Amino acid sequence: MKSLVVYGSLVLCFCAALLNPSSLESANLTSTKDTLSTSRLSVFGTVDPTGTAAGSSNVKLITPAYLTANTITTSNIKVGDVLSIGDSVDYYTVITIVDTLNFTVSPVILATDDDANDPIYLRMRPSHTVTFTTASAIAGGSFRIMLPADTTTPSDGIPDDGGFDFTASPTVTGTDTTGYTFSAGTGTVAGGVGCTSPANYHCYDVAYTGAGAIGASITIVISGANAPIAPSPADTTESTAETYAYLVQNKNSGGTVVDSTKGKIALIEPVRVTATVDPTISMVICGASTCTDVEPTDTIDSEVLSNNTGATSTGTSVALGTLDLLAARLQAQKITIATNGAGGYALTAVDDGNLRRSTDTIDDNVTPPTGPAVLNTVGTEAYGIHPSGTHVNTTTWGTGGAAANKYSGTDATNILTLVTYATGPTVGVDTYVTYKANISPITPQGDYAHTITYIGTATF
């Protein structure tokens, strides 16, 4: 009997539970994230007339903040931004960031935009791509994305300090997937009809048809010209992200929230990267010892370099070897100059005197070096250099072989100009300098030498 009572009680409890079931517990949507097209905060500052004047390109931000115009440094402004300045909504492009308070714009500031506390806006409207995984298969329902709103001015077209600023008629779309066929979504300002709980959240709804599915990957995008305006918060610390909570809900066909979840969005000032490239000029001189194209038997400007004993060149010397009464001796060096300066470069040469041995000299081909000339008569004493290369003036120096190439001696006082390239920056362009010497039957025996200094500079 006792056991009968116990079993009877259990059956009654079970039946009572079936008659009045408890409401279904909502589950969490999973893998939720809101990917912003830009994580940049909006700009809302005001004009400081002490550094902003009509007709000038400089704009100064006022500090401390005027009301909720919380942009009090240039850390969130970058070159190329198009800012709205003044009550009459004039647009200006940022040209340079001067310092933490000042920046310059184009065109110059109009007379209506230089008053104290004239607003400065940059309305950032990032698109929100919200993705999540469903927890339940809810047929014919809807999804709602809720973005944080300012408590006092949630929809005035001005970046808010407390949340996103709502703009009517946003573009809200869902990506169709198995069990979900979406219709165009809508937006409702915080506090608007059907968008009151929880308070201070804008609502973006998108309804769907279909049976729904458990574990479906859903993507909802809020975008377009009417996407909400990103905040311009008061307590921003440069390089430290500001975070805002958002909600995602899955409702059934009756509008009851079945599943929901909460996520966070992070916004931050842009990182301004600055770099300076110093103007430079570089010069490299190489000879046969390090450059393969100025070795004996190589051809420079259609003249073959000599291959006699001891003839070679390095970056600091040119050895012609034993000169020959019956043939010219030639060797060469390569000089490479590069500059990023707008004025290009000049290559000049000066020496310490003639090619000489004690008081004996081998005559320069041209003295003073004012007009280079062909050096092509074997048996006549002459010595000179001939530059060739992309930037060499071929009218002055000739080109194309022994009959055309012009040689000049160098001088201790009259500087010889080899190249002047004033057109602008240039990558390393090679100038080949060919050294050529002939002797006569009466040239005294011995080793002849002199020093040539090649001077690389910018043009003035």
Partner 1 sequence: MKISLPKFFISLLTLSLCHFVTLPQAFASSLVVSPPRIDLEGKPGDVLQQAIKITNSGDKSITLSASAIDFIVADDSGTPIQITTSASGRYLASPWFILDKPELTLSANQSMSIIAIIEIPADALPGGHYAGIFFAPKEKGALGTTGAVVTPEIGALFGITVAGNIKYDALIKDFSVKANVSEFGPIEFTAVIENQSDTHIRPNSKIVIHDMLGRQLAELPLDEVNIFPFATRTLTGSWNTVWGLGRYRATLTSSYGPGLVTSRDLSFWIMPYRLIASILVILLVLLVLYLSVRRHLIHKEDHRDDEIDELKRKIAEMENRTH
Residues that bind partner 1 (CB under 8 A): 278-287, 289-291, 310, 312-323, 331, 333, 335, 339, 341, 343, 345-346, 348, 350-351, 355, 415, 417, 420, 422, 435, 437, 447-460
Contact of 104 with 96, CB cutoff 8 Å? yes
- DSSP H or E stretch at residue 12: helix 2-19
Could you tell me the smallest distance in angstroms from the CB atom of residue 56 to partner 1? 19
- Nearer to partner 1 by Cβ, of 95 and 449: the residue is 449
Could you tell me the smallest distance in angstroms from the CB atom of residue 350 to partner 1? 7
- Nearer to partner 1 by Cβ, of 171 and 348: the residue is 348
Could you tell me the smallest distance in angstroms from the CB atom of residue 385 to partner 1? 8
- Nearer to partner 1 by Cβ, of 191 and 356: the residue is 356
- Nearer to partner 1 by Cβ, of 147 and 318: the residue is 318
Tokens in use for 346? Answer: 């000049």
Indicate the burial class of 185 (C-beta count within 10 angstroms; 0-12, 13-18, 19 or more): buried
CA 377 to chain centre: 59
Could you tell me the smallest distance in angstroms from the CB atom of residue 400 to partner 1? 24
DSSP 377: -
- With vertex at residue 155, the alpha carbon angle to CA 32 and CA 34, rounded to the nearest 5 degrees, is 10
The C-alpha torsion from 76 through 79 and 81 to 82, rounded to 10°, is: 130
Could you tell me the smallest distance in angstroms from the CB atom of residue 78 to partner 1? 27
- Nearer to partner 1 by Cβ, of 51 and 315: the residue is 315
Could you tell me the smallest distance in angstroms from the CB atom of residue 442 to partner 1? 16
CA 452 to chain centre: 44
Contact of 85 with 93, CB cutoff 8 Å? no
Q: Are strands 382-389 and 355-357 parallel, antiparallel or unpaired?
A: unpaired
Tokens 């190249």, residue located: 419
Residues 6+ apart with CB under 8 A from 386: 301, 372, 375, 397, 398, 405, 406, 407, 408, 433, 434, 436
**How many angstroms separate the CA atoms of 111 and 99, rounded?**
23
If DSSP codes are grouped into helix, strand and coil, which group holds residue 133? Answer: strand
CA distances from 6 to 3, 10, 11, 108 (A): 5, 6, 9, 91
Contact of 130 with 262, CB cutoff 8 Å? no
Could you tell me the smallest distance in angstroms from the CB atom of residue 298 to partner 1? 16
Could you tell me the smallest distance in angstroms from the CB atom of residue 375 to partner 1? 15
**How many angstroms separate the CA atoms of 445 and 346, rounded?**
37
Could you tell me the smallest distance in angstroms from the CB atom of residue 315 to partner 1? 4
Contact of 430 with 389, CB cutoff 8 Å? yes
- Nearer to partner 1 by Cβ, of 220 and 337: the residue is 337
Beta-ladder partners of 105? 94
Tokens in use for 130? Answer: 């919200």
Residue type, 231: P
**How many angstroms separate the CA atoms of 100 and 24, rounded?**
56
- What DSSP string runs through 81-109? -EEEETTTTEEEEEEEE-SSSEEEEESPP
**How many angstroms separate the CA atoms of 21 and 453, rounded?**
102
- Nearer to partner 1 by Cβ, of 319 and 404: the residue is 319
Could you tell me the smallest distance in angstroms from the CB atom of residue 274 to partner 1? 18
Could you tell me the smallest distance in angstroms from the CB atom of residue 397 to partner 1? 15
Could you tell me the smallest distance in angstroms from the CB atom of residue 302 to partner 1? 22
